[in-house]
Structure 1
Amino acid sequence: MKKLYDFFSSVKLAIFLLLMLATTSIIGTIIEQQKDPIQYLREYGETTYKIFKFLGFTDVYHSWWYILLLVLLAINLIVCSIKRLPKIWKIAKEPKKILPEGQEKNLKAYHSITFPAPFEKVKNSLIEAFRRVRYKVEVVEEQEDKTYIFADKNVFARFGVYIVHLGVLIVLIGGLITAIWGYRGYMNLAEGTASNLVSFFTGGKIIELPFYVKCNKFKIDFYPSGMPKAYISDISIIENGKEVLRKQIKVNDPLKYKGIYFYQASYGQGEAFIQLKKGDNITTVAVAFGQPFKVEDGVYMRIVSIDGMRMLVGFEVIDHGKVKDYQAKMFTPYQIPGTNVLFAVADVKPVFYTGLQVSRDPGTWVVWLGSIILILGLIIAFFIPHRRVWVRIEKKGEDRTKVVIGGTTNKGTEGLSQELEGVLGVLKSSYCQNTPKEE
């Protein structure tokens, strides 16, 4: 158990995991994620695509090994923090508050000066001077001719690294939430059609939304060269049979509803009219190429191609996540494999359809929160010093008082020295006609 604890508290493990995450992020940037398999085959070839798919490179951020890296890094951060926290807590909350004789020379900055002023006045002026520069001052011990004072500020800066750890941990949690419950898919909708089915870019997974998305109108403009200039979709959200939201969307201007974003991503051409027969019940479905429609629970079908010369239609059947390719002649009834449903392609129209990218990222706000905490922690850890000052005030006569003052800091020794000189400068200007020499 101790070996396991030491393993997860290792800084080397943290560095290794961060390097692995950086590498996988580079892979996820170079290789476009969750694209149509045809695009991967066209760009990389069949063998390379199969290797990428096996390794999870086509969907890095939802792969089991990426999630495992996030979990391991989260465990590593938690264990490291737990292991080191007691020591930091003791340093921050249980300091030695008395400066013994001669120990000031071991501090990063110290001064020893005798002032021609009464003991009480020097003590009170010193406490007030420290409070003006935001120190928390404590009179630790008072003797007849000697007083010990302890002052510190920004003790929270000692925990800056733990705020960084917390921020990173929250970011990781946000990433895990998105990796497990988030998704990115697509919908192809011809004008006048509606659907609640979202297809993943890879594999046969299909999500049924609790509402329908309808394309009221799709407009596409072209340059004289034939390249697309702009494409705009008039989209409605239909819930419980009523339109609850409507918006014109274009590239980089999505529609958002219930945490799901609908982006204008692409376009295509082709709309099929399918007749479905189950028993005596006959229905007609109008659907854009590539957009699935439901046949039975867990079984979906989509038209993917048409061969006008031979009057053949290529279609896929998605049966509980497994995808199989088939061909059928137009106008001829076929039984959908694995079901009792007959279908026939009644008509095909070469109309344009809108391609929507559908994205759900439930971890976005968690990541933003973690990022803010992370930045705050970095500011505290790198720019805010924890400073401590010990003072020994000794009575040397009725109007003579010796002050021994020294301090330490976890960063910025020069700043501490300037601060101590500023505090002593207040006393010098109050009680000395001529600046006393340090002893």
Structure 2
Amino acid sequence: MSTRPPEDDRRPGELSVRELLRWTWRQVTSMRTALILLLLLALAAIPGSIIPQEGVDSLKTSNWQSDHPKLTPVYERLGLFSVYDSPWFSAIYILLMLSLVGCIVPRTFHYWRGLRAKPPAAPRNLTRLPEHATYATAEAPDVVLERARTALRKRRYRLTVDGDAVSAERGYLREAGNLVFHLSVLVVLVGFALGSMFGYKGGVILLVGDQYGFSNNLTQYDDFDPGSLFHASGMEPFSFTIDDFDVDWLTTGPRAGMARGFESHLSYQETPGSPEKKYDLKVNHPLSIGNTDVFLIGHGYAPVITVKDGNGDEVYSGPTVFLPVDQSFQSIGVVKAPDAEPTQIGLEGEFYPTVAFSKQTGSYYSLLGKPLDPMVSMLVYTGDLGMDTGAPQSVYALDKARTTMLTKKNGAPYRIDLRPGQTVSLPNGLGTVSFDGLQRWNKIQISQTPGKWIALAGVVLALLGLLGSLFIRPRRVWVRARREGGGTLVEVAALDRSGGGDMAAVVDEVVAAIQNRREDES
């Protein structure tokens, strides 16, 4: 009884599950897909550099969300406020790594076989190659071939002899350069992935000269962005204070009055009880403690403000951080006095390091960032500041939902303008507000990036691979010597596999090397 194979009932062009998986894998691991994914990754990173990110600056993000109430829900759904942690960015990242692995591994085996392979045999007609030369000699073919082999070996060619011809090839490392370059992209991606998973990044605003300083634990940070596999036990137990802060102001030119350089003078301890050390912290010159880096990323002013209520009791006193909004360090800030009697008091306004008045706009502005004539200008709000609800509040924003802004008799906002040393009495016996002095603050970023050296190694590998693929030229040279008539006919040909090389000079060099050796020996 004969058996026939089962009939295939699939329609033409229909793939089985196995064939579909194989086709999908080939598409994902093709070089074209890898390039597309690399481009998509670069495009996907653009929103992260344009839209404020919660893990980088939560205050700036919340301010942006307040200013764009219609776009905020859409951006939140798309994950645009945390681009690098979003599922779609991770999907591109993972697909790119898979594509690179699928590209590199097969090419590595292919290159390994090619690296061990012998140079190809000489073509039958060397004179048909674009660059060739022939000459006749009375020497025996074996002598000519031995001389050619010696000359090519000195020029670091890999050789093989096949009958009446010598085949030579060099430039094998060009393909290695390509592989190293592609491998380096994978190394960089792995380095960034390790940093994002096991590392952290946080920020804190510290007053200059604050005796309490900063200790590296979670409660001290203003904002903190940990990796998905981060553990607090891996944090370095250091502490530091900012003793002083120097600013180098430009005094001439169109940018006079702007800051040119900053320098924070730190006192730090690597571990509790260890000797205190000094460090001058500058922009792009971080302090490295163990695996943690401390960066100076911003600075500003903190006016010392005192508020007394209607009973004469001091309900608020101390330096208040104002956040700069432009290069002249015009800054915004708030003061909250929830314990004031008979009603809570909130102040919101601007700080001007060097105040000036514009007749066109009828408002104040900051002329320079250097504090030559500082002034605080604030509006006054009374009522419920919303601090008793238990909901978290930003110290840089005032909840005005249940407050009333003080106004003058003509309905205009009641604004208090204070210079250092001045005090103003609030209307209706609400109390007084004083501008007692001015302090500086620094914005410090603290980060731990475990994979940064791996990423750096990947960048170095990329440069080495790129140099190799650009400057190493794979070449093949053949020399054939055979008896013809009463002498020996010598044929020399060369081929540049990368294109664009001057192979005529290579042929002339090989011919001259063979003939010069003969002349030296004679």
* TM-score normalised according to structure 2 size: 0.60
Q: Which residue of 2 aligns with 1:404?
A: 491
Confirm whether residue 192 of structure 1 aligns to residue 211 of structure 2: yes
Structure 1 Cα separation of the partners of residues 506 and 264 of structure 2: 63
Unaligned runs of at least 5 residues, structure 2 = 1-20, 305-317, 322-333, 347-384, 396-435
For the 8 Å contact 2:199–2:226, the answer to whether it is kept is no
Q: Which residue of 2 aligns with 1:356?
A: 444
Structure 2 Cα separation of the partners of residues 42 and 425 of structure 1: 76
Which of 299, 315, 339 is equivalent to 1:266? 299
Q: Which residue of 2 aligns with 1:426?
A: 513
For the 8 Å contact 1:197–1:207, the answer to whether it is kept is no
Aligned-residue offset at 1:317: 11
Structure 2 Cα separation of the partners of residues 170 and 314 of structure 1: 50
Check 1:212–1:384 CA distance in 2 against 1; reply closer, same or farther (3 A cut). Answer: closer
Residue identity (%): 22
Structure 1 Cα separation of the partners of residues 488 and 516 of structure 2: 15
Check 1:394–1:315 CA distance in 2 against 1; reply closer, same or farther (3 A cut). Answer: farther
Q: Which residue of 2 aligns with 1:342?
A: none
Give the residue type in structure 2 aligned to 1:171: V
Q: How does 1:28-427 map to 2 (within 5 A)?
A: 28-33=48-53, 34-43=55-64, 44-95=67-118, 97-99=120-122, 101-102=124-125, 104-105=126-127, 107-141=129-163, 147-190=164-207, 191-193=210-212, 194-198=214-218, 199=221, 201=223, 208=232, 209-215=235-241, 217-219=243-245, 230=262, 232-243=264-275, 245-264=277-296, 265-267=298-300, 269=302, 306-307=336-337, 310=344, 324-325=392-393, 352-396=440-484, 400-412=487-499, 414-427=501-514
Q: Which has the higher strand share?
A: 1
Give the residue type in structure 1 aligned to 2:152: F
Give the residue type in structure 2 aligned to 1:324: P
Could you say which structure has the greater relative contact order, defined with CA pairs below 8 angstroms and 6 or more residues apart? 1
For the 8 Å contact 1:268–1:355, the answer to whether it is kept is no
Give the residue type in structure 2 aligned to 1:46: P
Unaligned runs of at least 5 residues, structure 1 = 142-146, 272-286, 291-303, 328-348, 433-439
Aligned-residue offset at 1:262: 1.4
Q: Which residue of 2 aligns with 1:339?
A: none
Q: Deviations over 1:43-87 (max 9, x none)?
A: 452343444444333343344433332221111011122334454
Q: Secondary structure at the match of 1:211?
A: coil
State how many pairs are aligned.
Answer: 373
* Between 213-222 and 129-138, the greater mean CA deviation after superposition: 213-222
Q: Secondary structure at the match of 2:480?
A: strand
Structure 2 Cα separation of the partners of residues 317 and 177 of structure 1: 40
Structure 2 Cα separation of the partners of residues 382 and 216 of structure 1: 49
For the 8 Å contact 2:138–2:488, the answer to whether it is kept is yes
Structure 2 Cα separation of the partners of residues 51 and 76 of structure 1: 31
For the 8 Å contact 2:236–2:290, the answer to whether it is kept is no
Q: Which residue of 1 aligns with 2:366?
A: none
Q: Deviations over 1:228-276 (max 9, x none)?
A: 78563423135133345432324343321012121223356489xxxxx
Structure 1 Cα separation of the partners of residues 226 and 514 of structure 2: 79
Structure 2 Cα separation of the partners of residues 106 and 15 of structure 1: 38
